[in-house]
Amino acid sequence: MGDFKEHILFGFLTASIVSFLLRGYLFLQPLELILSVTMLVVGSILPDIDHENSYVHRAAKALASVGAAVLSLVLLPFPIHVNFVFSSAAFLLVYTSISSMRITHRGFTHSFSFCSTVTSLTVIASVYLYASPVPGLAVGLGMISHLMLDREFKIK
Ligand SMILES: [Zn+2]
């Protein structure tokens, strides 16, 4: 249903309602608030990673292919000029592999299974890295707002 802008705005609206309901219980440090808002925005657009024209899909493709190239350059034991050849190949391989994937829009990434899996992982990472579950939970809140706006309420 929604586009990039609408998903982010609906994520903010959902966060506004939830934080109103939790007033008196939710006290965030400034850095915790910045992290949580960032994670809310990420969560509110993340399900559209299965849409090849979406910002998040293109960003993930760029990050994965450039990341593969950089890792090849840094980790391979050959001379630097040879590593550049391998990193070019790694970039092309990852980029074309992701481009050739036939993924169904509003498939698994628009399900509660994906939402709960990602939220569990981000809560664990958030507690481990920042000692607070709130930024991790914000991803889940953003994803739930996305699923509500898309009217997708499937389990898997
Ligand atoms: Zn969507």
Per-residue pLDDT 10s for the chain (156 aa) are 678 899 999 999 999 999 999 999 988 999 999 999 999 999 999 999 998 888 999 999 999 999 999 999 999 999 999 999 999 999 999 999 999 988 888 888 999 999 999 999 999 999 999 999 999 999 999 999 999 999 988 888
43 and 114 fall within a common domain: yes
Say how many Å lie between the CA of residue 143 and the centre of ligand 1: 9
Distance 59 CA to ligand 1 centre (A): 16
Q: Do residue 40 and residue 77 come from a single domain?
A: no
**Tokens 């507690």 identify what position?**
127
How many angstroms separate the alpha carbon of residue 20 from the centre of ligand 1? Answer: 26
Give residue 110 CA to ligand 1 midpoint distance, Å. 7
Asked whether residue 137 falls in the same domain as residue 113, the answer is: yes
Residue 4 Cα, ligand 1 centroid: separation in angstroms? 9
Residue 109 Cα to ligand 1 middle (Å) = 8
Pair (114, 38) in one structural domain: yes
What is the distance in A from the centroid of ligand 1 to the CA of 144?
11
Q: How much distance in Å is there from the Cα of 150 to the middle of ligand 1?
A: 6
pLDDT at residue 152, as a whole number: 84
- Alpha carbons 57 and 72: distance in angstroms, whole number: 22
C-beta of residue 130 within 8 angstroms of C-beta of residue 32: yes
Residues 98 and 120 in one domain: no
Q: How many domains does the chain have?
A: 2
Do 123 and 145 belong together in one domain? yes
Residue 24 Cα to ligand 1 midpoint, Å, equals: 32
Give the model's pLDDT for residue 1: 62
CB contact set of 106 (below 8 Å; sequence gap of 6+)? 50, 150, 152
Instruction: Let me know whether 110 and 92 are in one domain.
Output: no
Residue-level pLDDT at 155:
83
Q: Which domain holds residue 125?
A: 1-52+105-156
**Do 44 and 109 share a domain, yes or no?**
yes
Identify the pLDDT of residue 38: 96
- Judge if 18 and 93 occupy the same domain: no
Q: Are residues 91 and 112 in the same domain?
A: no
pTM: 0.83
102 alpha carbon to ligand 1 midpoint, in Å?
17
From the number of C-beta atoms within 10 Å of its C-beta (0-12, 13-18, 19+), residue 99 rates as exposed
Q: 37 and 19: one domain?
A: yes
